[in-house]
Structure 1
Amino acid sequence: MRPVFYKYKSSKPSTVLPLTTLKWLTVSVCLVLTACNNTTTAQSADQLDESHSKNAAKADNHTGETNHTNDTINIASPDWGNAATLTAMGHPPIATGDVRVWDRWVGTPTLPSSIIDLGIRYQPNAELIAQLPVNLVVDNFFYKHARNLYGDVPAESVMFAAKGETATWADYTEPTRELGILIDNPKMAEDYIVKSQKDIQLASQQFQQRYPKAKKFAVVQFADANNMRMYVANSLFQPALEQMGRELVVLGKGNQWGFVPIRMGDLAQLDDETCLLIIDPLSPITRAEIDDSLIWQRLDYGNTRCVGELPPVWIYGGMSSLVSLVNNLSEVSLKGGEVL
């Protein structure tokens, strides 16, 4: 049934406003809107000024520290992989990008509170960089478009990535050694590599004691409830699992970033012996939609199939990401299948 609309007829004659009155009303509305806009703009400017003041204060502190440690090479890096590895080595950069979401995507290592946020990683704040006592910028090809923002500060490229179709341990140790050379402390890098290998061995032993039957893993990260990235042989998961004596199971050849896009139904191709690892972050909305998915329910993960969820790790990171991943895996709670 369609709704019925009735026309209302007033018993009073309509009132027509004089043209002069209409003009004054229009001007008044414009003045009110302009005032509101100016207030909003002023508030935004105050927020920017507050953020800039905090970073400027940090810059001043770094300047003071530099005067006391003339032999320290101050690094700035928009790249999280280099920033995380330098921090884990014991030589954190004085600045990196997108610090505000570091915990959500990188996790560990924790950044020192003194580290300055350069703003968006892909487009760092040139004005802020100019105020910092930076000796060297460390980036990679993804950030080369921003090198004109650094002025006279030299920049070096260090890339943690597979050199072939399969990522190897050397693909992560060699760039770590490059960082050691750039900070004029090769021993620091070498010590960190040795420590990392020991940490991975210890985490592997802990995992073996908890889940001796879990040998094969597929690794995914959800984009939404039906689409995901499956990380493959040229990702950091290959050398990490290989160091643990485990196998990475993949469905196809990955792109230059180490993953292949798949849909939820594609997971049916995995055998029952393969445990699915889901990498956070995973939003509450997406999690609820996955639980309600008939395909997910049919796959039966958590019951007849093994599944586990891991904290965030920077997929495109360096040696520190390898160590974080293995440590996370040693503490994971697996459910379902025959792994228990």
Structure 2
Amino acid sequence: MLSTGRANPHERIAVVDWAMFETLLALGIVPVAATELVQFRKIAIEPDVPPQVADLGLRGSPNFEMLRLSNPHLIVSSRWFTWVQHSLEQIAPVVSYSVYEPNRPPYAPAEQITVALGKRIGRLAQARAYVDASALELARASRRVADKTARPVFLINLGDARHFRVFGADSMFGDVLQRLGFTNAWTKPTSYAATAPMPLEALAEVPDAWIVIISPVPPDARSTLSDSSLWRALPAVREGRVVTLPPVNPFGALPAARRFARMLAETLSAPGAQNG
């Protein structure tokens, strides 16, 4: 049962998409089931996942038997799961929302979806309050990094010691970066979130940029980079303009946006971080 003070037609909600999962948790809804909880706890970190949420297995192949056993009254999905829409509908009514679309910054859609989902589940006031609180958190983060924004920023995940993925304007990280007043150093096209693996030397194309590494960092990359002449030759590395953030959900909604903004602001405003 949902812990809400008023009757709700959707007392048991299951969710297969991480962006929708973190949004439900942020609105005070504890789903009966969700996907890849072990990985979510490692990558998304927040919001906290209560222990009573059942794990539906991989996002790419959710466990329909477990989903059926969880007896949901409503399933919350996204465009990533259109291929299993019919199967989901055999279990319970499905609502689907899309934070990510090609060539579209996702923060504003995440705001709209938060309100739409809140209205659907009887949490409209909480949803609107969360949208407003998110805007305030980004505004606070923006003030903290105001002296750093003269330099552009590469936002990357390391794949190994020689390759990285970079987050563009149509990623949540890239959208929030610009809302904080920065310029994204990566101006080439990306698809939904990040490019395919790129060689490290591509980071030399904007020599005055910050390099912001978003965890997790593969163990082999961490141990090898320090000995890499290619890595040490990058201007940002030589001049101390590389920082590493804790893990953040790269396919999240407003909770991920807030965590990314807060982590970036805390890291760049820490003692020892260079001024822009």
**TM-score scaled by length of structure 2:** 0.88
Cα distance, 1:69 vs. partner? 7.6
What are the residue-to-residue correspondences of 1:126-205 with 2, within 5 Å? 126-147=64-85, 148-149=87-88, 151-162=90-101, 165-167=103-105, 169-205=107-143
Cα distance, 1:271 vs. partner? 2.6
**RMSD of the TM alignment (CA)?**
2.5
Q: 15, 21, 25: which one pairs with 1:83?
A: 21
**Distance in 2 separating the partners of 1:102 and 1:154:** 24
Amino acid at match of 2:254: M
Q: 157, 166, 177: which one pairs with 1:221?
A: 157
Q: Does structure 2 retain, via aligned residues, the 8 Å contact 1:306–1:336?
A: no
**Distance in 1 separating the partners of 2:131 and 2:143:** 19
Q: Which residue of 2 aligns with 1:241?
A: 177
Superposed CA offset, 1:118-151 (max 9, x none): 1122222222222223111111122233331552
Q: Which residue of 2 aligns with 1:315?
A: 250
User: Structure 1 residues 214, 307: closer, same or farther in 2, change over 3 A?
Assistant: farther
User: Structure 1 residues 122, 168: closer, same or farther in 2, change over 3 A?
Assistant: closer
Relative to its length, the structure with more helix (as a share) is: 1
**TM-score scaled by length of structure 1:** 0.73
Q: Does structure 2 retain, via aligned residues, the 8 Å contact 1:253–1:260?
A: no
Q: Which residue of 1 aligns with 2:42?
A: 104
Structure 2: stretches of 5+ with no match in the other structure: none
Q: Which residue of 2 aligns with 1:71?
A: 8
User: Structure 1 residues 313, 337: closer, same or farther in 2, change over 3 A?
Assistant: closer
Q: Which residue of 2 aligns with 1:327?
A: 262
In terms of Rg, which structure is larger? 1
**Distance in 1 separating the partners of 2:247 and 2:232:** 25
User: Structure 1 residues 281, 131: closer, same or farther in 2, change over 3 A?
Assistant: same
Higher relative contact order (CA 8 A, sep 6+): 2
**Distance in 1 separating the partners of 2:274 and 2:188:** 25
Q: Which residue of 2 aligns with 1:114?
A: 52
Amino acid at match of 1:133: N
Give % identity: 24
Q: Does structure 1 retain, via aligned residues, the 8 Å contact 2:155–2:174?
A: no
Q: Does structure 1 retain, via aligned residues, the 8 Å contact 2:142–2:180?
A: yes
User: Structure 1 residues 240, 196: closer, same or farther in 2, change over 3 A?
Assistant: same
**Distance in 2 separating the partners of 1:336 and 1:254:** 32
**Distance in 2 separating the partners of 1:249 and 1:213:** 12
The 3-state SS of whatever aligns with 1:238 is helix
Q: Name the stretch that deviates more: 274-283 or 87-96.
A: 87-96
Amino acid at match of 2:207: D
Q: 258, 264, 270: which one pairs with 2:206?
A: 270
User: Structure 1 residues 171, 260: closer, same or farther in 2, change over 3 A?
Assistant: farther
Q: Does structure 1 retain, via aligned residues, the 8 Å contact 2:138–2:258?
A: yes
Corresponding residue pairs, total = 272
Cα distance, 1:204 vs. partner? 2.3
**Distance in 1 separating the partners of 2:271 and 2:159:** 22
The 3-state SS of whatever aligns with 2:238 is coil
Superposed CA offset, 1:217-247 (max 9, x none): 1101011111111111111123212221222
Superposed CA offset, 1:266-323 (max 9, x none): 1110132x11100100122221112221100111544325111011111111111111
Superposed CA offset, 1:87-123 (max 9, x none): 1122232211111111222122121222111112222
User: Structure 1 residues 127, 97: closer, same or farther in 2, change over 3 A?
Assistant: same
**Distance in 2 separating the partners of 1:92 and 1:194:** 22
Superposed CA offset, 1:4-25 (max 9, x none): xxxxxxxxxxxxxxxxxxxxxx
